[in-house]
């Protein structure tokens, strides 16, 4: 089957209390690891492409890799999503390039300007049968070109539930990324992680049935942090979103959970291990292959955490 949008995925996720994993792809090995896990778990899947990924690999290569994945897995619904588009022009280009879902992130703009830009993207995307994710409120941390607010300012930039209602009504976006205390990158928290579940619940109560999205939701898994540090890395203070918190959110109204940092850490940890244990190794297949397997194992685990394993058929 061809690429799909996220409408049916989110409808089923909301109805059945789970979330769909949205994983960032940058090259063939990362994509293969993700796809193999989704196929094994029979899970719906969102493949996200950021500006950094397009710059690194070029859109033509990424699209060709994804097209092969789609052709080889006809029973798995796969959406191709633009992650953090920041201008109308970028979103328009991705719509024209065949994306089935785009995100316009104008959360850094004043409320009315966010509405104006988001609505413009929605009008063009909907005209071309593409769905739109928007963002209201601001996350913390740094990831590629996305620079969030400082950790100390997170609470003052959480999504306002009343504004969320007005925003969705005026823009007609299809899903909304909410700021609920998460951050981009591997250093999400300075102390015990706490999410604003009350914000998620209030938005859900005011927008019943409407799908919400959690960005900055990698868990910075200990096994990979320990491997990275064991083999020369320096990530002692890295801290992510606890998986039980992600599960709780997915049973509320969060239908899409973004995961990128955990992919990077799984790949980096395994490559570091191979280089440390086999310092004479120079065949890329001998370290990229294990890295791909590490990504697959991590994604298999995440699909169980999100509750979307064995849900592919209902999303077709």
Per-residue model confidence (pLDDT) at position 156: 54
Number of domains making up the chain: 1
Containing structural domain, residue 24: 7-315
Instruction: Answer yes or no: is 52 within a domain.
Output: yes
Mean pLDDT, the chain cut into blocks of 10 residues (316 residues total):
95 98 98 98 98 94 97 97 96 97 95 98 98 85 43 64 97 96 69 83 97 91 94 88 93 96 96 98 98 98 98 95
For the beta carbon of residue 279, count every other beta carbon within 10 angstroms.
8
What is this structure's pTM?
0.93
Instruction: Answer yes or no: is 64 within a domain.
Output: yes
What is d(CA 91, CA 105) in angstroms, rounded to the nearest whole number? 10
Per-residue model confidence (pLDDT) at position 194: 79
CA count, 13 A, side-chain hemisphere, 130: 25
Instruction: Answer yes or no: is 284 within a domain.
Output: yes
Per-residue model confidence (pLDDT) at position 187: 66
Sequence-distant (6+) residues with CB within 8 A of 312 are 38, 42, 43, 44, 75, 76, 77
Structure tokens that stand for 310 in this block: 């064995």
- Closest by CA position to 85, among listed 43, 133, 123, 126: 133
Instruction: Answer yes or no: is 74 within a domain.
Output: yes
- Closest by CA position to 291, among listed 211, 197, 230, 228: 228
Residue with tokens 């094994």: 40
By annotation, the residues acting in catalysis are 83
What is d(CA 102, CA 80) in angstroms, rounded to the nearest whole number? 8
Instruction: Answer yes or no: is 2 within a domain.
Output: no
Instruction: Answer yes or no: is 41 within a domain.
Output: yes
Beta bridge partners of 22: 46, 258
Instruction: Answer yes or no: is 163 within a domain.
Output: yes
What is d(CA 136, CA 211) in angstroms, rounded to the nearest whole number? 13
Instruction: Answer yes or no: is 1 within a domain.
Output: no
């Amino acid at each position: 089957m061809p690429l799909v949008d996220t409408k049916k995925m989110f409808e089923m996720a909301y109805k059945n209390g789970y979330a769909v994993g949205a994983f960032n792809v940058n090259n063939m090995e990362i994509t293969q690891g993700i796809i193999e896990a989704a196929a094994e778990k029979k899970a719906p899947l969102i493949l996200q492409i950021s500006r950094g990924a397009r710059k690194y690999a070029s859109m033509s290569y990424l699209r060709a890799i994804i097209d092969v994945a789609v052709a080889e897995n006809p029973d798995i619904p796969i959406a191709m999503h633009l992650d953090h588009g920041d201008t109308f022009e970028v979103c328009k280009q991705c719509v024209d390039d065949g994306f089935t879902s785009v995100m316009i992130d104008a959360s850094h703009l004043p409320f009315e300007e966010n509405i104006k830009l988001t609505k413009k993207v929605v009008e063009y995307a909907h005209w071309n049968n593409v769905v739109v994710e928007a963002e209201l409120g601001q996350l913390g941390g740094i990831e590629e070109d996305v620079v969030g607010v400082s950790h100390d300012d997170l609470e003052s930039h959480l999504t306002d539930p009343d504004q969320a209602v007005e925003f969705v009504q005026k823009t007609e976006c299809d899903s909304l990324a909410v700021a609920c205390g998460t951050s981009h990158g591997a250093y999400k928290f300075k102390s015990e992680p706490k999410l604003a579940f009350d914000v998620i619940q209030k938005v859900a109560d005011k927008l019943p049935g409407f799908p919400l999205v959690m960005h900055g939701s990698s868990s910075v898994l200990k096994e990979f942090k320990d491997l990275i540090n064991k083999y020369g890395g320096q990530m002692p203070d890295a801290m992510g979103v606890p998986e039980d918190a992600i599960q709780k959110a997915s049973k509320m109204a969060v239908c899409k959970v973004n995961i990128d940092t955990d992919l990077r850490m799984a790949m980096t940890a395994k490559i570091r291990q191979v280089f440390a244990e086999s310092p004479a190794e120079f065949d890329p297949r001998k370290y990229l292959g294990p890295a791909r397997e590490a990504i697959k194992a991590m994604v298999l685990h995440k699909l169980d955490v999100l509750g979307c394993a064995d849900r592919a058929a209902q999303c077709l």
